[in-house]
Structure 1
Amino acid sequence: MLLFRGTRLIDSTAPARGLLAAIGGNGGEYDRLIGWLTPRMPDLSGRLQQLPDTGSDEIFGVDGRGSARLKLLAEDLGDGYRRFNLTDPGAEGAGIIVDSLSQNALEEELHILRELVDHAPMLAWHQEPSGAITWANDAYLSHMAQHLPDTADEGPIWPIPALFDLIVPETDQTVIRRARLGGDAAPEADLWFDCHIQRKDSQIMCFALPAGAAVRAERSLREFVQTLTKTFADLPIGLAIFDKDRALQLFNPALIDLTGLSAGFLIGRPTLYAFLDRLREARMVPEPKNYRSWREQMSNLESAAASGHHVETWLLPGGQTYRVTGRPHPDGAVAFLFEDITSETSLTRKFRTDLSMGRAVIEAMDDAIIVFSATGQTMLANAAYQTAFGLSEAMHHPSAPEALRAWQSSAQGGAGFERLRGCLNGTAGRQRQRGAMMGPDGRLMNWHFQPLQGGLSMVRFEAATETLAPTQPAAPQAAPEPQAEPMSRQRAQA
């Protein structure tokens, strides 16, 4: 029996106080009592709202787990006072000494807890300090029947066998250990669990959470890292990866070969600046003017590599040339790649020198030379050609049709020019040919057509001190090349 004024408990009997203690929970006594009664009496709220009009009401509950059918007598005493008389009809006159309502509440809570623990997706058990298991949930018993076949058909076994060999802490604390279920005999069927061991005085509770997915992910990551390590080991490019704190986390053997740093120093995970300082001591960085400017240069290198792709070329004091590439990595990490490009740089310099020398030779020639691509674009025209044909800056690189029009205006037609036109248009065949035509200054010029590799065509003009007879494309049985004719006859033909 409970007496309320509003929602404040005024008085109650000893069984009522026992019931409230068994219910537990947060909030006041009224809210806890109504919250416990509502699932058992679905129409309780509406009946209580009508209580000021009816004065009293007798409400019966439905059957619940572990409890009998309850009866609530609610009375409105006026001035906000309400009295609740809660009884168990099944216990009336049965001589039950234990308070049935408190007992039913405890049984209800015990049933819910058992349901939760037995259906939890984890293994749970209680054991003594000696290691003897005194209680286990259904998940534990199911795994025991699966992995201990000798116990599958024998029903409940006492004492319960241990599935894991765990070390229990000596003091009151919680430790987590990963253990494997199934043993070494069947590695393909391994079941991994993260075992949480909680000790409080002499009570030891253990919970095993499935960790198979985490183990598989770690194994895949480890195999992936091993694959990357083998790949990096064969790279001729030195690799150094620094984490967000700029400590060296990964490097390959090529880094040792290129920098000359010891493996012991690199295994010690130096910081980026300690790594660069050691490179400076080994004269494996560009020689700075002073230490301050060098530190600024290295700071700029680090910040540029962290913010985006950054490439530098280091000309080392020993004559080597390194390409240093910085790339940002996830979580603030940064990677540096060191590549020896000494031979590549030397080859590039030699190639540029050869090109410059070839261009200088062509520019120094007295003959006018122009080279066309396969599409008719001018690839090269030396100074003698520009002087001979009076090219402007706009026509510095004329196309083949534009050059033909310029030649036609000066040559004023003629057989020699038509043969040259056929050479450039492809109608006369791609063979070495020569001929003569009138030049821009009114004097006769000899031309030489030379096909080059890649579809290129070169035309060379020279002053006609002696007029060359035109050449014909080679035939299967070509006659001997005719001798040059007198200058006067060639001029007449032109």
Structure 2
Amino acid sequence: MPSAIMILIPVLGGLIAGIMALSAVLWLAPRKCEAWQGLDADVLSEPRQFQFRHGYLVNHSGNVGFLLPFPIDHLKAWDSLIEALSDINENVPTAFDALRDTGLPFKLEGPFGRDRVVIIGLRDGEDLRITIATAEERQGSVRIDLSSLKAMESEISMLARVGDTSPTLSWAVNDARQVVWSNAAYLERVAQCAGPDAAQGWPLHVLFPEPDDSGPGKTRRKNRDRAGIEHWFEVTTSAPDTDGLRHGHAIPLDTVIKAEDSRRTFIQTLTKSFAFLPSGLAIFDRNGQLTLFNPALMDMTGLDGAWLSRRPLLADFFDALRDRQKLPEPRDYKTWRDSLSDIERTAGRGVYIETWTLPSGATFRVTGRPQGDGAVTLMLEDISADVIADRTHRADQDMMMAVLEDLDDGIAIFEADGTRILANAAAAALWGDGSAGLPATLDGCITYWKTLSHPHSIWGELRDLIRSPDADWADWDDTIGQTKGPALRLRVSARPGGRIALTFRPDVAVTPAQSEVPAKRIASA
């Protein structure tokens, strides 16, 4: 007997240890759907509602202990409810986050005995409402609280108004490509194209038929109304949703198409006008590519039209000009080209203008004008003839001035307003020592000459010519006596444009004593 007891003691000990270990494993094992175990549909005979505001549980239905631990922590109730409902549908956390962050409503389902549990989430003003009810398949109904139903009805009504007031045509087609839903804009367009009767029954008239192999995306489509007028739309179609419906939306493009046609016509008109310009014209878009050029550009630069039609970049354009020696060769060509290519930046405060003197002797004036949209207009003008004419005119002036400097007579010419245009050296040398030179205006010269001569009425008469530049007057001569020098014979001559020419020469016929008495003016026709 004692030996039997000794044998049973270890066996009983092992049995007890095994039972305790099994109990511990069962206690620590995850208890999935513990809140729902042992429950039946009668527990949710009435919907359970939870109302949250800024993450805080402000109101809830009674008997929710199978969803939230008691006592209820109103600050953690949102997370606790997510944890409890995640066993019904794995999409609960994602749907709750979307509702909280963007107000996106949801409806999720999950198994509950022979029936199913429906979880509805929606935004009601600043509150978030979560409703949990059963969907009784035997009765074909879903129980929901009245406040949630009103909120859902209000949202559905608002969505319907949004769809009917939208100018965009919206519709849905089934797998048989029949229009089974549309908004008011689509119905109005159906009436315009197929008549009022076509907008009455279902399925509706199809405005934008799709080929069998068409997929989701954007296309430009057109249709004609009953008057035969074409209307353009940008049509966007989606892939089939969970119900097998494809949704379409059409944005009217009539205004856009007209604008594009006007722009195209305007560009054609500009192209024709630019073709007759003697200046070379090149327009580069915001990406620096050539978009428009005229024949004069090819004539001036020698660039091939086929190459220009390939829309070269602005930097490549300058490289091609350099290869044909149609631009000056700077010391650092790359830096010069890069700075010139970025005309919008370097000339952001105005128009870029530069004169190019080419090895061939031709001279181009280059004007770069940045546009507001990043485009650049480049104009090349051949100013070789102007430069040659300017050089010739300057040479003629220099030659004339050299001739005047060799004359013994003093000559001074003034504008109609009295500004001195030119005066040779003799004009200053005949008055005193000539070291002071002549003042820049006729009035200043008169004041200067009066200090070096005897009183004479001619100074007042010269001032009258300035005050009345449009008056008619004849050339005249007069003699002026200097206080320290020989008498001078002055001739006053009218020149084109109201200019006045004064010529001085020594009057050898007048003695110093005679020069003190003003001589009688001799007018000549």
TM-score under structure 1 normalisation? 0.69
Structure 1: gaps spanning 5 or more residues = 1-7, 21-29, 39-44, 49-71, 83-94, 475-494
Q: How does 1:94-493 map to 2 (within 5 A)?
A: 97-101=139-143, 109=152, 112-113=155-156, 116-117=159-160, 119-120=162-163, 121=166, 122-128=168-174, 131-149=177-195, 152-153=196-197, 156-167=200-211, 169-170=213-214, 173-183=215-225, 186-187=228-229, 190-200=230-240, 203-286=245-328, 288=329, 293-303=332-342, 306-308=345-347, 309-390=351-432, 396-413=438-455, 417-419=456-458, 421-426=460-465, 430-439=473-482, 441-466=484-509, 470-472=521-523, 474=525
CA shift in 2, pair 1:324/1:441, >3 Å? same
**Pairwise CA RMSD:** 4.2
Tell me, what secondary structure is at the counterpart of 1:295?
A: helix
Amino acid in the other structure paired with 2:445: A
Tell me, what secondary structure is at the counterpart of 1:386?
A: helix
What is the distance in 2 between the residues matched to 1:346 and 1:240?
26
What is the distance in 1 between the residues matched to 2:150 and 2:464?
105
Amino acid in the other structure paired with 1:80: P
Tell me, what secondary structure is at the counterpart of 1:275?
A: helix
What is the distance in 2 between the residues matched to 1:320 and 1:131?
70
Q: 1:176: Cα distance to partner?
A: 0.6
Who is 1:34 aligned against? 50
CA deviations over 1:272-326 (Å, ceiling 9, x no partner): 232222222323223x37xx73333323322456420322211223221111122
What is the distance in 1 between the residues matched to 2:199 and 2:444?
103
What is the distance in 2 between the residues matched to 1:219 and 1:16?
69
What is the distance in 1 between the residues matched to 2:497 and 2:294?
43
Check conservation: 1:323, 1:338, Cα contact below 8 A: yes
Tell me, what secondary structure is at the counterpart of 2:250?
A: strand
Structure 2: gaps spanning 5 or more residues = 1-32, 74-136, 511-518
Tell me, what secondary structure is at the counterpart of 1:330?
A: coil
What is the distance in 2 between the residues matched to 1:19 and 1:162?
45
What is the distance in 2 between the residues matched to 1:157 and 1:411?
114
CA shift in 2, pair 1:409/1:329, >3 Å? closer
Amino acid in the other structure paired with 2:201: I
Q: 1:462: Cα distance to partner?
A: 0.6
CA deviations over 1:442-466 (Å, ceiling 9, x no partner): 3222111111122211111112244
Amino acid in the other structure paired with 1:194: E
What is the distance in 2 between the residues matched to 1:280 and 1:367?
54
What is the distance in 2 between the residues matched to 1:159 and 1:373?
91
Check conservation: 1:133, 1:160, Cα contact below 8 A: yes
What is the distance in 2 between the residues matched to 1:391 and 1:16?
129
What is the distance in 1 between the residues matched to 2:508 and 2:226?
98
CA deviations over 1:116-174 (Å, ceiling 9, x no partner): 2564113222334554334333432232123222xx1477334422112444544xx52
Tell me, what secondary structure is at the counterpart of 1:199?
A: coil
TM-score under structure 2 normalisation? 0.65
Amino acid in the other structure paired with 2:240: K
CA shift in 2, pair 1:142/1:208, >3 Å? same
CA shift in 2, pair 1:424/1:200, >3 Å? same
CA shift in 2, pair 1:214/1:114, >3 Å? farther
Who is 1:483 aligned against? none
Amino acid in the other structure paired with 1:139: A
What is the distance in 1 between the residues matched to 2:313 and 2:487?
76
Amino acid in the other structure paired with 1:135: W
What is the distance in 1 between the residues matched to 2:202 and 2:64?
54
